[in-house]
A and B are shown apart, each in its own frame.
Chain A
């Protein structure tokens, strides 16, 4: 039995296969101790199976343990060892301030304070040559200083260790021998730029204790779930990484920094899977929750980036290129002193929540939807969660008084939606147009609690021709995790001039081989035979003298591909300029078993059977009597025109006027503008 688990802020979603069918279970999350919710869910799921059919049990977890520990600064006590004279690199960062026009701004406190940053007299030069070799006496003295600090983990980052790791290796060896947990920069991220490498290595060390405790707890839970036949060999715990692949719990416990975007990565994979089944390979995934929204652009497979930041701390390992904006259903709206309507980033969260939940007093995006009738019958979660429309009206009336140009509360509510959609539009622009992709070539895959409410408006603004709302908008991340392959990334900075014959260059080949043999060994340890492992090689290239590189497949035609990509991204290329290879990269992929999709043949019957009510709903200034459909009753082949509202257990979809909805063979809703429709005025 394979169970994918996505631990979110509010719910823990589990997705698994029973009799070949995908099943979902949602249990409330237990943020104080996230494994508790998993234990509860497992017990419930185990009840649905015969005891003998549970083992071997695979648990695949998407986790926010790492992100939360970082955001709340609850990680371990770390000692950082650096080249002497560079102990403060972590604190100085790139010497810039995050906010330009703010006398009271600052930057986040470093994860390791001054007194725990220790220098060692050693130095490697730019070409990897040893300038100062650390004496064994100095190393012994260092170890004593480290131990005096009683650390939970030790991070090591020496200058140019990506070019020559000997010094880091010898220090790491001694520290490990002394029984300490070690995170060494040449292992975590052997790439140029000391601050980003140090930061990534420190984040890794910082998460080591908390992640290993968490994973030990999950492993214990998994063992308990298969009680009778309990042996460790019959359970396996795996963890979703930020790069969109999974790794074993033991590997994740060593490199927890790789799991930071675990949850959102699941969403992107889920979107990729659903879109692929539906026959779309160019998609923009749009996951809108209560406090934040994640967007990503996929062309076939999801892209990765290595320029991410978490809470202003650089984390430079490959992560799916997911852009997060601080706006969601709970975002608060207000009129500022200059007379502009602002929405977010402040959020009403779960407490006090939107006005409609009964406690909040500031208008939110969810309230605006309710006021306009977009949530169907004024309730969420299939009626279990009533919403207070009258209360919402009252607060909106008093809030809109600060803006004389707003004539009524409906206009105010529509304005809130327009502004939040412009924020989303900007986020999507950033990942598409700004990087040279035209949204008109893409399908918008919208999910999360609020995704379906904004999908049509956003698609109209960006001229995206099609929207896909998956059958299970609430469990898509867990489904993505269930589908994920084992993926391992390795990279190495080499910094050498490139010529087209370079691929056969000895130094380059040696670098690839070294990364691959390490990768194969570690991927085999995850339980794959050599024949099951796919290997991809990449090059990070730039024109000699540039600072930013582009990642390309290491194929024979890499030079031509680089000029083309540069032209596309920046509007020019210059084949006469010399190129430089910055990093070589290797990705190993071990394929996991996939659930088989089920297809339904199209029904001949009318969609009117799925209508559960007619209600007045506001669309851009006018109230229209609108059909409310129950998602559960819609079948493959159904089609209907907007305006319409589709309600579901965990999410609502708004089909705008002049949009048409069809239900495809996988029970996804496909929305598209009707022909002859002009753009939004």
Chain B
């Protein structure tokens, strides 16, 4: 930290950049259409400097945190973004994570007082900032409604969008929207959500331009860089507190949904002074099914875990990652190559990467690290045709994730029925769900005694049971069905999760990953894993 940086201004600019991201998020949530965005808040917004460093992230979804810079990099590499343009993308192999996450990237230029100066400066201008927002859309086409099922290659997972301009000079590119609408199951809802994403970009642009007018680009730049240095200094202080050494751990995904064999996440964390290297060498090769992750997801998980070690409220900027190097060998399950299927990498593999990282860090700082939480998001999708009397007929696609048990912490029990680590999406209220979709929720309860025993008990999972009121397709992407989340320091493992389909006479325990046809009246019961315990009971 240099002497010239005023601690007062630093705090003020930190608040300003953060509030831009939060404002974008509030606008997106309030005007979005799908329950997944408006009720469950499965979105993120962020502000970047001209060099594509994150300056501020809203307190949204951790899994988006480390992966949004890749979107900005991909958009700017592929397109020449002009003022009032915005790029849209979802290609996991070009700045995305999995296909349902549609990301928008907008450049922000210096505002000009009048049109003449604007014309004069047009050619030489470069963006001073970038804004991005990412929202999980309930369907982007592909083999299964909800686009979150089991696939063998990305082409089955939905429409793949490389960076394209959705906004050109402030005008919506209808060609792109029409192309997208023609490839998804619920085009009207998609268009509504895209409009809300565009509106969020514009909210951010207005705020940043007002800041540019007020403080000037020079001052904003100085403090943007100071903010990055500030986060870096914070992270260095935290890493320095870890004892020097090499900490190894591994954890496993149950399977890829196609073969039965477990998939290894191996991690080696080397701490030296105020730097750390996180090496995933030794992780399983990329797999047949859809739990492959791209590199940005591995980085997100590392980012998240180290961010949690910082006990102060600090901004989630790219500076946090400067002292940390990530080694993610290509062709493995944490850095897959096209055309592998990736729907579950973002939501399942990301959680297991966190589990492996925490297991390793527990060796370095046993009293700062919790036992494993549920380690899955229990991704559940429904799709079909509405046929209830009194409801407008038409296709529907719905996506949700179900919370589970939190791992026990040294000194505290784990919390029951709560989202942990890489996600923090809300539930869809039962009353909103049943109003919007031909589903009835039969039970929504805490799964008693599913948390691991210990001096401190793991949190309990959840039981959520649905009845299909019309024929439909259901798909599940989940994990921790074979072995429960690990306990630490002598604590017992939490109970693994379970899913059961009951169609009258037939009762069937479902695999962790797959798609099923539900007849009218069939019930689907999901029991989510409990968290691991901490300490000998």
Partner-B contacts on A (CB < 8 A): 85-89, 91-92, 94-97, 100-104, 106-107, 114, 125-127, 131, 159-160, 192-196, 335-342, 403-406, 414-415, 418-419, 422-423, 426, 429-430, 433-434, 495, 543, 545-548, 566, 569-572, 574, 577, 679
Are A104 and B409 closer than 8 Å at their CB atoms?
Answer: yes
Given contacts A193-B432, A570-B30, contact A88 B417 (CB under 8 A): yes
Q: Separation in Å of the A570 CB from the closest CB of chain B?
A: 4
Option from A125, A419, A566, A571 in Cβ contact (under 8 Å) with B8: A419
Are B415 and A194 closer than 8 Å at their CB atoms?
Answer: no
Are B195 and A159 closer than 8 Å at their CB atoms?
Answer: no
Are B427 and A193 closer than 8 Å at their CB atoms?
Answer: no
Are B233 and A337 closer than 8 Å at their CB atoms?
Answer: yes
What residue in chain A is nearest B9 (Cβ atoms)?
A: A418
Are A572 and B26 closer than 8 Å at their CB atoms?
Answer: no
Are A342 and B11 closer than 8 Å at their CB atoms?
Answer: yes
Q: A104, A335, A679 — which one has the most chain B CB atoms within 10 A of its CB?
A: A104
Chain B residues lying within 8 Å of A127, measured Cβ to Cβ, are 390
B443 at the interface (CB under 8 A from A): yes
What residue in chain B is nearest A114 (Cβ atoms)?
A: B446
Chain B residues lying within 8 Å of A100, measured Cβ to Cβ, are 59, 62, 424
Are A103 and B32 closer than 8 Å at their CB atoms?
Answer: no
Beyond the given pairs A104-B411, A415-B6, 10 more chain A to chain B contacts, judged by CB atoms under 8 angstroms and listed by A's residue number, are A86-B445, A92-B418, A94-B429, A96-B418, A103-B370, A160-B434, A405-B7, A419-B8, A434-B26, A569-B27
30 contacts between A and B (CB under 8 A): A86-B444, A95-B417, A95-B427, A95-B462, A96-B418, A97-B415, A103-B369, A104-B370, A106-B415, A127-B390, A131-B440, A192-B429, A193-B431, A338-B1, A339-B230, A339-B233, A340-B7, A404-B3, A405-B5, A418-B8, A429-B19, A545-B34, A546-B30, A547-B29, A547-B35, A547-B38, A548-B31, A570-B30, A572-B198, A572-B199
Chain B residues lying within 8 Å of A433, measured Cβ to Cβ, are 207
What residue in chain A is nearest B437 (Cβ atoms)?
A: A126
B73 at the interface (CB under 8 A from A): no
B368 at the interface (CB under 8 A from A): yes
Q: Separation in Å of the A156 CB from the closest CB of chain B?
A: 16
Q: Separation in Å of the A110 CB from the closest CB of chain B?
A: 11
Are A192 and B435 closer than 8 Å at their CB atoms?
Answer: yes
Option from A104, A196, A545 in Cβ contact (under 8 Å) with B412: A104
Are A103 and B35 closer than 8 Å at their CB atoms?
Answer: no
Option from A86, A87, A339 in Cβ contact (under 8 Å) with B1: A339
A-B contacts counted at CB < 8 A amount to 201
Given contacts A336-B312, A546-B31, A571-B203, contact A85 B442 (CB under 8 A): yes
Given contacts A97-B419, A338-B231, A419-B11, contact A102 B444 (CB under 8 A): no
Separation of A195 and B418 alpha carbons in the complex (Å): 14
Contact with A along B137-148 (1 / 0, CB 8 A): 000000000000
Chain B residues lying within 8 Å of A195, measured Cβ to Cβ, are 429
What residue in chain A is nearest B186 (Cβ atoms)?
A: A545
Residues 290-332 of B contacting A (Cβ, < 8 Å): 304, 307-308, 310-312, 314, 316
Are A337 and B312 closer than 8 Å at their CB atoms?
Answer: yes
Chain A residues lying within 8 Å of B15, measured Cβ to Cβ, are 422-423, 426
Given contacts A101-B308, A495-B435, A545-B34, contact A571 B202 (CB under 8 A): yes
Question: Which interface class (under 10, 10 to 19, 20 to 34, 35 or more) fits B?
Answer: 35 or more
Residues 359-374 of B contacting A (Cβ, < 8 Å): 368-370
Chain B residues lying within 8 Å of A339, measured Cβ to Cβ, are 1, 5, 7, 10, 230, 233
Chain A residues lying within 8 Å of B390, measured Cβ to Cβ, are 127
Chain B residues lying within 8 Å of A193, measured Cβ to Cβ, are 429, 431-432
Chain A to chain B: the 7 pairs with minimum beta-carbon distance, closest first:
A547-B38, A85-B443, A95-B403, A570-B31, A94-B426, A415-B8, A545-B33
Are A107 and B418 closer than 8 Å at their CB atoms?
Answer: yes
Are B34 and A97 closer than 8 Å at their CB atoms?
Answer: no
Q: B316, B402, B403 — which one has the most chain A CB atoms within 10 A of its CB?
A: B403
B245 at the interface (CB under 8 A from A): no
Grouping DSSP codes into helix (H, G, I), strand (E, B) and loop, the A interface class, with mixed when no group exceeds half, is loop
Separation of A572 and B411 alpha carbons in the complex (Å): 49
Chain B residues lying within 8 Å of A97, measured Cβ to Cβ, are 415, 418-420, 424
Chain B residues lying within 8 Å of A91, measured Cβ to Cβ, are 416-417, 446
Are B195 and A574 closer than 8 Å at their CB atoms?
Answer: yes
Are B368 and A94 closer than 8 Å at their CB atoms?
Answer: no
Given contacts A92-B403, A95-B418, A339-B230, contact A194 B33 (CB under 8 A): no
Given contacts A341-B8, A419-B11, A546-B31, contact A96 B444 (CB under 8 A): no
B177 at the interface (CB under 8 A from A): no
Separation of A102 and B308 alpha carbons in the complex (Å): 5
Are B7 and A406 closer than 8 Å at their CB atoms?
Answer: yes
Separation of A85 and B467 alpha carbons in the complex (Å): 14
Are A96 and B424 closer than 8 Å at their CB atoms?
Answer: yes
Q: A104, A127, A569, A570 — which one has the most chain B CB atoms within 10 A of its CB?
A: A570
Chain A residues lying within 8 Å of B480, measured Cβ to Cβ, are none
Are A547 and B370 closer than 8 Å at their CB atoms?
Answer: no
Separation of A434 and B10 alpha carbons in the complex (Å): 22
Separation of A339 and B446 alpha carbons in the complex (Å): 44
Separation of A95 and B8 alpha carbons in the complex (Å): 37
Option from B38, B39, B188, B237 in Cβ contact (under 8 Å) with A337: B237
Q: Separation in Å of the A32 CB from the closest CB of chain B?
A: 32
Q: Separation in Å of the B231 CB from the closest CB of chain A?
A: 7
Chain B residues lying within 8 Å of A404, measured Cβ to Cβ, are 3
Q: A126, A335, A546 — which one has the most chain B CB atoms within 10 A of its CB?
A: A126
Q: Separation in Å of the A551 CB from the closest CB of chain B?
A: 13
Chain B residues lying within 8 Å of A87, measured Cβ to Cβ, are 445
Given contacts A337-B312, A543-B192, contact A86 B443 (CB under 8 A): yes
Given contacts A104-B409, A406-B7, contact A92 B30 (CB under 8 A): no
